[in-house]
């Protein structure tokens, strides 16, 4: 065999056989290759979606189990607290009975427990209908009637968009005029007063903020100080608004606030400042805390629990509301 024949034989061996398709063809269309690629991609995506759904299902199941466990712990904690309270009250009653017997006093007669009626309560059937109307679940696992009412109140509460968002329904400017303190037993008049005060403070804060935004030079020290005073007043007023919403502001604070607002609305800013001082330091005849000796000691001690005491060292609401009212009156009376 010559060299040429040998090389030809080796070359023919090295040639790869033509690939054949399942139907026997030696070639494949590009469209078929694209269809196979898309089918493989779709299968891969379906597998990924299946795994994602499985993970979400497992996560949701785990969250539900954690929520149930948390609810069980809370329920157990409530029961323990209730049992502890009952046991403590029983021990206190027994101790009081022994004390009265020891000193010769008559036994206490327990009063019949009166059924507490919640004015904000909603009948169960009506509550279910209201929840269905707003698209809320009619019941949640472990939820009692009171919790359901609270959930409905929380979902349906509408907050205003003013400087201090509040759930109180604000009144028009023509209705903001404060006349006088209503009697404590007049609940509706007191609620209306809270709405008037919240509306007035909202209006003044909004006008204050708009006036600062209209100023040309905002980068000066005076402009920054004025803006900081306005922002601090908003922050100080927020706890007072929360008290307005709950309707549990102390009368000793509410009365001076009403006097301040009434004087400011009548543009009597000196009287408003006097009301601010009354709210701050009161009208006590002797400076309590400076000295408690001498002939004034008895008179001073008797004035400790009077209504004219100052609230300069009161709680957060008293201090914040006092400072904010002073800031608002200062801005109102600057002209």
Contact, 197 vs 261, CB < 8 A? yes
Q: With b meaning 16 or more CB within 10 Å and e meaning fewer, what string describes 55-89?
A: eeeeeeeeeeeeeeeeeeeeeeeeeeeeeeeeeee
Mean pLDDT of 161-167: 81
Q: Residue 131 and residue 138: Cα distance in Å, rounded? A: 6
The DSSP symbol for 309 reads B
Mean pLDDT of 40-49: 93
Q: Residue 116 and residue 113: Cα distance in Å, rounded? A: 9
Q: What is the pLDDT of residue 26?
A: 61
Mean pLDDT of 47-67: 90
Mean pLDDT of 59-75: 87
Please give the angle made by the CA atoms of 40, 44 and 45, to the nearest 5 degrees.
Answer: 120
φ, ψ of residue 282 to 5 degrees: the values are 75, -170
Residues in CB range of 54: below 8 A, 6 or more apart: none
Q: Evaluate if residue 90 carries a pLDDT over 60.
A: yes
Mean pLDDT of 237-260: 85
Q: Residue 306 and residue 125: Cα distance in Å, rounded? A: 49
Q: What is the pLDDT of residue 283?
A: 64
Q: Residue 230 and residue 233: Cα distance in Å, rounded? A: 5
Burial of 148 (0-12, 13-18, 19+ CB in 10 A): buried
Dihedral sign for Cα 182, 193, 251, 184, please. positive
Q: Evaluate if residue 243 carries a pLDDT over 70.
A: yes
The residues spanned by each domain of the chain are 158-332
Q: Evaluate if residue 256 carries a pLDDT over 70.
A: yes
pLDDT tens digit string along 144-159?
888 888 888 777 776 7
pTM equals 0.48
**What CATH code is assigned to 158-332?**
1.20.940.10
Mean pLDDT of 173-185: 84
Q: What is the pLDDT of residue 224?
A: 84
Helix axes 269-281, 251-265, angle to 10 degrees: 170
pLDDT tens digit string along 314-330?
455 555 554 555 555 55
- Spell out the SS3 assignment of 135-176: CCCCCCCCCCHHHHHHHHHHHHCCCCCCCCCCCCCCCCHHHC
């Amino acid at each position: 065999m010559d060299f040429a024949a040998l090389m030809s034989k080796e070359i023919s061996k090295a040639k790869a056989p033509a690939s054949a398709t399942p139907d026997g063809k030696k070639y494949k269309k590009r469209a078929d290759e694209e269809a196979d690629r898309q089918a493989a991609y779709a299968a891969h995506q379906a597998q990924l979606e299946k795994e994602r759904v499985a993970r979400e299902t497992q996560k949701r199941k785990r969250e539900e189990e954690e929520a149930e466990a948390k609810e069980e712990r809370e329920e157990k904690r409530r029961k323990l607290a209730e049992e502890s309270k009952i046991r403590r009250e029983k021990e206190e009653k027994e101790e009081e009975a022994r004390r009265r017997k020891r000193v010769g006093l008559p036994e206490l007669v327990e009063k019949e427990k009166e059924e507490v009626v919640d004015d904000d309560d909603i009948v169960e059937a009506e509550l279910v209908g209201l929840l269905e109307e707003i698209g809320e679940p009619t019941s949640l696992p472990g939820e009692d009637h009171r919790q359901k009412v609270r959930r409905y109140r929380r979902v349906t509460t509408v907050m205003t968009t003013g400087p201090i968002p509040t759930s109180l329904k604000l009144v028009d400017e023509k209705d903001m005029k404060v006349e006088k303190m209503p009697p404590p037993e007049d609940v509706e008049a007191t609620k209306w007063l809270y709405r008037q005060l919240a509306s007035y403070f909202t209006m003044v804060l909004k006008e204050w903020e708009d006036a600062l935004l209209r100023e040309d030079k905002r980068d000066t020290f005076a402009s920054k100080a004025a803006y900081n005073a306005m922002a601090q007043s908003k922050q100080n007023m927020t706890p007072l608004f929360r008290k307005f919403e709950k309707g549990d502001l102390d009368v000793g604070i509410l009365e001076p606030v009403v006097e301040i607002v009434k004087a400011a609305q009548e543009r009597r800013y000196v009287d408003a400042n006097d009301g601010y001082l009354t709210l701050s330091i009161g009208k006590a005849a002797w400076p309590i805390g400076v000295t408690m000796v001498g002939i004034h000691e008895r008179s001073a001690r008797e004035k400790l629990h009077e209504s004219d005491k100052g609230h300069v060292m009161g709680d957060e609401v008293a201090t914040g509301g006092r400072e904010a009212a002073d800031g608002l009156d200062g801005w109102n009376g600057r002209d």
